Chain A
Amino acid sequence: MTIELAELDHPAVEAPTPPDEESNRKRWWALGAALAVWVVVGTVLSGRNTQDLPNAELTGFQTWLTDLYGNLQDAKFNGDWFIKPAVWIGDSLDWIVTTLQHLFVSDPDRPLQVAQFGWAGVVALVVLIAYALSGARIAVLSLAVLLAIGYAGYWEAGIDTLIVTGVAVVICVLIGIPTAIWMSRSSAASAAITPVLDAMQTMPAFAYLAPLALLFGIGNSGAVVVTLIYALPPLVRITAHALGTVSPTTVEATASLGSTENQQTRKVRLPMSKRTIIVGLNQTIMAALSMATIAAFIAGPGLGQPIVRALNILNVGVAFVAGACVVLLAIMLDRATERAGIRAELAARSGGNENVRRIVLGVLGVAAVIALYLSHSQLRWSVFPESDFGAQVARRVNDWTDAFTGAVGDFTAWVNDTATTYLLNNLEDLLANSPWWLVAAAILTVAALLGGAGKGSFQRVVTGVALCSLAVLAAGYYAGSVPDINWVPYWTGVVVLLAVGGYLGAGEAFLPTAVCLTLIFGVGLWNDSMVTLSMTLFATLVVMIFGVTIGTWMGRSHRVDAAVRPFLDFLQTMPALVYLIPALALFPPGKFLAIAAAVLYASPVAIKIAADGIRSVSPTTVEAAQAIGSNRWQMISKVQLPMSKGSMVLAANQGLLFVLSMVVIGALVGGGSLGYLVISGFSQGQLYGKGLAAAIAITALGIMLDRITVHTAARYGRAETA
């Protein structure tokens, strides 16, 4: 049950009239020229002003962040008033999770203590709930999934993950639905909240961890908070959208009968949007599960822990078994909400088999009570039977992987080496080994040329870009000539740049890009960010090759679409962390492995958007082109691809954001750069500030890439695909 939310994601960007061909051509020439200058100057000045910062070193700002962390810990300890709300929230969440753990999982801190209700009770309860909400088939599915997880040896971790996910989702609903109602009623609220949701969704998952753990602590509380914040936006967004687009005639008709606002919400808008709200809930649940596993990095309980541990020691087999458990949970939750959505509609209407249902519910209810009782009183029903099934599978998978690597290892190593030496390293050289001011100027030029039409004429835009580049250049040289970062000329350069760019109206993406670059530079992680950026760009390139080819293939044939789409849907239900596992089976640890995982992770969404773009090219146009006698290749290259340019850019937009979020997680398997800093920030107290700075840099990268591509897409006009 995955739907494309690209439409919802950036509702604020309107499609302007498509730019004229002439100005487009000029833009591309200018872009080419800028890239040429970049390559030449970058090669000449390679290695200078790269702002490289050794791993163990901290800038002043980063040290300040580390101190801030220490101060906050002290403040918590002293019970200072400003930290009290966060402490209170953290404690309450921790209490909720711990209580549930006491009830259903044995206390992780005291392994000998048995839970109030053991596995039999939990299984019976889950089956009962699944049957009540989603029907018989889902009940059987849940039973199978839970038993499989237990059998694989991850009973407690699995239930922990369910608890964290469940608590976060319940809070999401409690916060999200009222917020969505408020947004649908007040355009001011909507205008205020939408950008916050935008930012939340642009932020890569990894960037949430450090700042939130800082406030709410690590472990249960931090895990729930990061999970709920990560999972909240889809629910709010989709619900607000659904509430706001309920048939206006019905709203008017019920208003004409004298409904109050509250009656409208309760009796008209909410029931009429039920189906869509459940779709939003589904997305929120899937996001929550994905984040709940990632929360293992801040000591969150559950299946994320064994996965992270196994990945750390490159044990594919163990990671596979634990990952499979997460995927099983994902399938269970996905299907259950999907069915619940359909049932919600059917249930009201069918009077027929309600009796059967009631009887089955009764039986299951009694069974659940008995099972709960047994699992409370007898060890056999309380502690999941030991089994070495999971270990066996892990061993088997490791054997297969070894055999596989032995067979194709040379090939994958060749792919790895070739791509790394010929493509990745060059790209990295260009971005990370050129002087920072050159790269900044180049990125700004790209942003100005691609992202947005700008208020001024083309000439004014180019002049503006040139001026700004000069400003950066000057500031850069000056700053570079002083060993430590010299803040005064730096900020002067930034201010001049923003003023000139703003004055000339260099296009909508220019200012956000400038701000993001400023942030990246300011937190002192320029070099690492550029390495991450080069990995992101490289992976996105591959994603787009898949997106355009497979997307075109799918978009042109309903049969191909029908065959491929379920597979993509399945890939999209997999929690993010799981993607690292197959990549680890194929490639040696390193940047390329992270890139491979990112490509896997980001391709489904990009392919889908591309396919929808191709599909939505007006059939009349396609027919007309056919009538003129275009052959298949001409049809693709002259009609379908050019007409879905907007969608392709949007596919790139989603591709970039997904890739970025995965590339940083890939640090776990040797991806290095920003992600590595985030992880080492958790493990080494004195590096905490650097990790936090890395989180800021990741977010800034995300926002920058998002803004540039969104405005590029807007310039091409999504009109053709809307």
Chain B
Amino acid sequence: MTAMVDDAGAVASTNGQSALTVNSLWKVFGPRADKIVGSPEADLSRAELLAKTGCTAAVRDVSFDVAPGEVFVVMGLSGSGKSTLVRCLTRLIEPTAGQITIDGEEVVGMSDTRLRELRRHHVSMVFQHFGLLPHRKVIDNVGYGLEVRGESKTDRRARAQEMVDLVGLSGNENAYPDQLSGGMQQRVGLARALAVNPSVLLFDEPFSALDPLIRRDMQNEVIRLHHEVGKTMVFITHDLAEALKLGDRILIMRDGALVQMGTPAEVVATPADDYVRDFVSEVPRSHVLTLAWVMRPPRPDEALTGPEMTPDTIVRDAARRVIDAADPVKVVDNGELLGVVDQDDILRVIVAEETPS
């Protein structure tokens, strides 16, 4: 996915605008929830707050930016507030406080009509349990978003058919949802979200109801679609492997609050606290870390005659050549020597994974 980011990142840096900005977002459930934010109670832990006021702070003071074309993953344990966060983005759940900007437009405080326009044209969402209409054929499920915004039947049929083909469901357009497997149903969900041609796609644990093999297929499907349509994506998951596989950046939540945000390598290499460390302890680091994280300054006695590599090369991909090379590999970016990596450095990463910690 890294290749993608490079293009998208370039787009982002040229116009300098982000697709989605969230600024100190709060969501508190419970009686008189709006009184909590800004009061001393807001500093209490979630459990204390619940005991004291009967309110649950599902999202606490979360801020982040998503660049156009970026795949932004939000992860955390069950109950950490991920679903609430993503639903606040289009106000399926009304945020308690904070600002949300999508495509330069302020979402909180938007009129109902504007909000509907936003949902109809700019942002769409894929759900864990699909949320398909059982009484409609696949094609009419896919066309639902177009239908509610008033497009003619022929237009939406054509567009829906395109989407059905895009997600690989050709031939099933006249089936009913209950005649499809879980994976196929989620493809319908995906096609429905894509049909309205949104600029931002939201995913709430779209694949956790699927079995592992189908899940891998679907992840690859998302990667493929991202290549083809290049949408901005906010992807919720509690599966770290999925997060690392798909995400350009990862935001980790605990008890509603942001714990760490960064690239997969950053998160794996420098966990912000024990919670994150616990999370990433199971991850094969060599699959995530890049040379930038394992290189070191050259020692005076080292010969700088080894092969050159870029700092964003994944350790696993570099391992063979580093171990085979007689001299340390030079890590070079734009002709500038950043550091070197030798066999020991590589082995340390790989062996560390194998010794149980």
Please report A residues at the B interface, Cβ cutoff 8 Å.
247, 249-260, 263, 267-268, 271-272, 274, 348-349
- Closest-by-CB residue of B relative to A263 is B148
Query: Which residues of the other chain, B, contact A258 by a CB distance below 8 angstroms?
Result: 116-121, 145, 148-149
Q: Do A272 and B134 touch across chains, with their CB atoms under 8 A apart?
A: yes
Query: Which single member of A252, A254, A260, A272 contacts B144 (CB below 8 Å)?
Result: A254
B 101-149 contacts with A by CB, 8 A:
116-121, 123-125, 127-136, 144-145, 147-149
Instruction: Name, among A253, A254, A260, A349, the residue most crowded by chain B CB atoms within 10 Å (CB to CB).
Output: A253
What's the minimum C-beta distance from B172 to chain A, rounded to whole angstroms?
14
Query: Which single member of A252, A255, A260, A271 contacts B133 (CB below 8 Å)?
Result: A271
Please report B residues at the A interface, Cβ cutoff 8 Å.
87, 90, 92, 116-121, 123-125, 127-136, 144-145, 147-149, 176, 189, 192, 196, 202
What's the minimum C-beta distance from B148 to chain A, rounded to whole angstroms?
5
Nearest first, the 5 A-B pairs at minimum CB distance are A253-B131, A258-B120, A258-B119, A249-B131, A257-B145
Complex A-B: 20 CB contacts under 8 Å: A249-B127, A249-B129, A249-B131, A250-B131, A250-B133, A252-B131, A253-B125, A253-B189, A256-B90, A256-B119, A256-B127, A257-B124, A257-B192, A257-B196, A258-B116, A260-B116, A267-B133, A272-B133, A272-B134, A349-B176
Query: Which residues of the other chain, B, contact A272 by a CB distance below 8 angstroms?
Result: 133-135
- Closest-by-CB residue of B relative to A250 is B131
Q: Given A249-B127, A253-B131, A257-B124, 17 more contacts at CB 8 Å? A: A249-B131, A250-B131, A250-B132, A255-B92, A255-B119, A256-B202, A257-B144, A257-B148, A258-B118, A258-B119, A258-B149, A260-B116, A267-B133, A272-B133, A272-B135, A274-B135, A348-B135
Q: Give the CA-CA distance A250 to B131 in the complex, in Å.
A: 4
Query: Which residues of the other chain, A, contact B128 by a CB distance below 8 angstroms?
Result: 249
A254-B119 contact, Cβ under 8 Å, with A267-B144, A349-B176: no
Q: Do B148 and A259 touch across chains, with their CB atoms under 8 A apart?
A: yes
What's the minimum C-beta distance from B150 to chain A, rounded to whole angstroms?
10
- Closest-by-CB residue of A relative to B176 is A349
Query: Which residues of the other chain, A, contact B192 by a CB distance below 8 angstroms?
Result: 253, 257
What's the minimum C-beta distance from B67 to chain A, rounded to whole angstroms?
23
Q: Give the CA-CA distance A253 to B145 in the complex, in Å.
A: 10
Query: Which residues of the other chain, B, contact A251 by a CB distance below 8 angstroms?
Result: 131
Q: Give the CA-CA distance A251 to B133 in the complex, in Å.
A: 9
Query: Which residues of the other chain, A, contact B118 by a CB distance below 8 angstroms?
Result: 258
Q: Give the CA-CA distance A226 to B149 in the complex, in Å.
A: 44
Q: Give the CA-CA distance A247 to B127 in the complex, in Å.
A: 13
Q: Do A254 and B131 touch across chains, with their CB atoms under 8 A apart?
A: yes
- Closest-by-CB residue of B relative to A254 is B144
What's the minimum C-beta distance from A628 to chain B, rounded to whole angstroms?
37
Q: Give the CA-CA distance A600 to B128 in the complex, in Å.
A: 50
- Closest-by-CB residue of B relative to A249 is B131
- Closest-by-CB residue of B relative to A264 is B148
Query: Which residues of the other chain, A, contact B134 by a CB distance below 8 angstroms?
Result: 272
Q: Do A267 and B92 touch across chains, with their CB atoms under 8 A apart?
A: no
Q: Is the interface of A mostly helix, strand, loop or mixed?
A: helix
Query: Which residues of the other chain, B, contact A247 by a CB distance below 8 angstroms?
Result: 129, 131
Q: Give the CA-CA distance A349 to B177 in the complex, in Å.
A: 12
Query: Which single member of B121, B127, B136, B149 contacts A253 (CB below 8 Å)?
Result: B127
Query: Which residues of the other chain, A, contact B130 by a CB distance below 8 angstroms?
Result: 249, 253
Query: Which residues of the other chain, B, contact A260 by a CB distance below 8 angstroms?
Result: 116, 148
Q: Do B133 and A254 touch across chains, with their CB atoms under 8 A apart?
A: yes
Q: Give the CA-CA distance A267 to B148 in the complex, in Å.
A: 9
Query: Which residues of the other chain, A, contact B87 by a CB distance below 8 angstroms?
Result: 252
Q: Do B129 and A256 touch across chains, with their CB atoms under 8 A apart?
A: no
Q: Give the CA-CA distance A259 to B116 in the complex, in Å.
A: 7
- Closest-by-CB residue of B relative to A274 is B135
Q: Do B127 and A252 touch across chains, with their CB atoms under 8 A apart?
A: yes
- Closest-by-CB residue of B relative to A344 is B135
Instruction: Name, among B118, B148, B176, the residue most crowded by chain A CB atoms within 10 Å (CB to CB).
Output: B148
Q: Give the CA-CA distance A250 to B133 in the complex, in Å.
A: 7
Q: Give the CA-CA distance A274 to B116 in the complex, in Å.
A: 27
- Closest-by-CB residue of B relative to A261 is B112
What's the minimum C-beta distance from B142 to chain A, rounded to whole angstroms?
11
Q: Give the CA-CA distance A256 to B130 in the complex, in Å.
A: 12
Query: Which residues of the other chain, B, contact A257 by a CB distance below 8 angstroms?
Result: 119-120, 124, 144-145, 148, 192, 196
A252-B135 contact, Cβ under 8 Å, with A257-B145, A257-B192, A267-B148: no
Instruction: Name, among B118, B133, B136, B147, the residue most crowded by chain A CB atoms within 10 Å (CB to CB).
Output: B133
What's the minimum C-beta distance from B328 to chain A, rounded to whole angstroms?
53
Q: Do B144 and A256 touch across chains, with their CB atoms under 8 A apart?
A: no
- Closest-by-CB residue of B relative to A248 is B131
Q: Give the CA-CA distance A393 to B193 in the complex, in Å.
A: 67
Q: Do A256 and B148 touch across chains, with their CB atoms under 8 A apart?
A: no
- Closest-by-CB residue of A relative to B134 is A272
Query: Which single member of B92, B136, B196 contacts A252 (CB below 8 Å)?
Result: B92
Q: Give the CA-CA distance A268 to B147 in the complex, in Å.
A: 12
Q: Give the CA-CA distance A251 to B144 in the complex, in Å.
A: 12
Query: Which single member of B90, B120, B124, B133 contacts A268 (CB below 8 Å)?
Result: B133
- Closest-by-CB residue of A relative to B117 is A258
Query: Which residues of the other chain, A, contact B132 by a CB distance below 8 angstroms?
Result: 250, 253
- Closest-by-CB residue of A relative to B90 is A256
What's the minimum C-beta distance from B207 to chain A, rounded to whole angstroms?
15
Q: Give the CA-CA distance A274 to B125 in the complex, in Å.
A: 26
Q: Give the CA-CA distance A549 to B116 in the complex, in Å.
A: 58
Q: Do A271 and B135 touch across chains, with their CB atoms under 8 A apart?
A: yes
What's the minimum C-beta distance from B120 to chain A, rounded to whole angstroms?
3
Query: Which residues of the other chain, A, contact B119 by a CB distance below 8 angstroms?
Result: 255-258
Q: Give the CA-CA distance A259 to B192 in the complex, in Å.
A: 14
- Closest-by-CB residue of A relative to B89 is A256
Q: Give the CA-CA distance A252 to B147 in the complex, in Å.
A: 16
What's the minimum C-beta distance from A460 to chain B, rounded to whole angstroms?
29
Q: Give the CA-CA distance A148 to B21 in the complex, in Å.
A: 74
Query: Which residues of the other chain, A, contact B123 by a CB distance below 8 angstroms?
Result: 256
What's the minimum C-beta distance from B209 to chain A, rounded to whole angstroms?
11
Q: Give the CA-CA distance A255 to B117 in the complex, in Å.
A: 12
Q: Give the CA-CA distance A259 to B121 in the complex, in Å.
A: 12
A256-B125 contact, Cβ under 8 Å, with A263-B148, A267-B148: yes
What's the minimum C-beta distance from A265 to chain B, rounded to whole angstroms?
12
- Closest-by-CB residue of B relative to A351 is B174
- Closest-by-CB residue of B relative to A275 is B135
What's the minimum C-beta distance from B265 to chain A, rounded to whole angstroms?
33
Query: Which residues of the other chain, A, contact B120 by a CB distance below 8 angstroms?
Result: 257-258
- Closest-by-CB residue of B relative to A255 is B92
Query: Which single member of B124, B133, B135 contacts A256 (CB below 8 Å)?
Result: B124
